[in-house]
Amino acid sequence: MIVIADGGSTKTNWCLINEAGRKIHFNTEGYNPYFVTQEYIIESLKKGLPDHLEVDKLREVYYYGAGCSTDANKKKVGDAMSQVFVNAEVNIGHDLMASCRALLGDEPGFAAILGTGTNSCLYDGSDITLNIDSLGYFLGDEGSGCFIGKRILSDYMKGYMPKGLRESFYDTYGLTNEDIFDNIYNKPLPNRFCASFSKFIYDFKDTYEDYTFSTVEYAFTAFFENLVIHYPNYKDYALNCVGSVGYSFRDILSIVADRYEMGVGKIIRSPIDDLVDYHVQSAAKAKLKANM
């Protein structure tokens, strides 16, 4: 049995392929190595994996994760997972590569992630050839859920949010300014905390259409200005994107992309289904080649 996973900073989507070829999906929280320890990953997996998953029978694990772009971070996550999936060969890759394989397969193009965080790259059909670092939630991540969430929190705390929406925000979360400061500066996973509020604005997008549009449009414009337009000949590529933020606000994303004369390609919420298909097809190709 093998398992394939796409891990963001908030959530990880898993797919088990059993001996009969049946696909079984499940979720755990995300494990960005910049924000969690090995011990945290181990304990979270032990608690979060479904009871029916026979981890000792797994032979291969393919985990693509946010933050797994360096050898040190890959080792950190891989060592933790090897203590959970004790009989499996654990393969750790970057979530950006998962997005490329899900969105483009073996074809070249431009791929982006717009979820809790942001990332983007040019892909040649096999490898990532250029990646402009989004610099994470503190210095960048333009267009992400965290970026949008920070804008929402700022507007709420400063009193810039429309009165009715501000009241709904307090009714929903009951947060004071002091609570927000505490979550951002004292508690773990501030990126996940900020990103969670992008759902709030989505839930109220029809009631407060102008505020939603201006907030999200600002974020996507920053994504283009600070990242996309700095890729050589970016207008020659279609905008392919994975992530809950890009998918949920794809109408606004398309408007901004059109403004920058970039066509829109494939926009999906999660790469897991297409990523699993990629691995299944790759395995079939390898088996065919071996038998030739």
pLDDT at 287: 63
Q: Which residues contact 114 (CB under 8 A, 6 or more apart)?
A: 143, 144, 145, 223, 241, 242, 243, 245, 246, 253
* Residue 136 banded pLDDT, cuts 50, 70, 90: confident
> Is the model's pLDDT at 2 over the cut of 90?
no
Give per-residue pLDDT as tens, 83-128: 999 999 999 998 899 999 999 999 999 999 999 889 999 999 999 9
> Is the model's pLDDT at 157 over the cut of 90?
yes
Q: Where are the domains of the chain?
A: 2-100+271-291, 106-268
pLDDT at 292: 63
Please provide the average confidence, as pLDDT, over all residues in the chain: 90
Average pLDDT rounded to a whole number, residues 166-171: 93
* Residue 288 banded pLDDT, cuts 50, 70, 90: low
Q: Which residues contact 136 (CB under 8 A, 6 or more apart)?
A: 34, 117, 191
CA dihedral (137, 140, 142, 147) positive or negative: positive
| Percent of the chain with pLDDT strictly greater than 90 | 65
Q: Which helix (H) or strand (E) holds 241?
A: strand 239-242
Q: If you compute the radius of gyration of the chain from its CA atoms, what whole number of angstroms results? A: 20
* Residue 286 banded pLDDT, cuts 50, 70, 90: low
Give per-residue pLDDT as tens, 216-266: 999 999 999 999 999 999 999 999 999 999 999 999 999 999 999 999 999
> Is the model's pLDDT at 280 over the cut of 90?
no
pLDDT at 182: 94
pLDDT at 290: 65
CA–CA distance, 106 with 109 (Å, rounded to integer): 10
CA–CA distance, 118 with 151 (Å, rounded to integer): 15
pLDDT at 108: 96
Average pLDDT rounded to a whole number, residues 15-19: 85
pLDDT at 113: 93
pLDDT at 43: 93
Q: CATH code for 106-268?
A: 3.30.420.40
Least confident of 51-60, 144-153, 260-269: 51-60
pLDDT at 95: 86
In terms of Cβ atoms closer than 10 Å to its own Cβ (0-12, 13-18, 19+), residue 124 is middle
* Residue 168 banded pLDDT, cuts 50, 70, 90: very high
**DSSP helix/strand/coil, 161:** coil
CB atoms within 10 A of CB 20: 6
pLDDT at 188: 83
**For 206, how many CA atoms within 13 A lie in the half-sphere containing its CB?**
1
2-100+271-291: in CATH 3.40.50.2300 = no
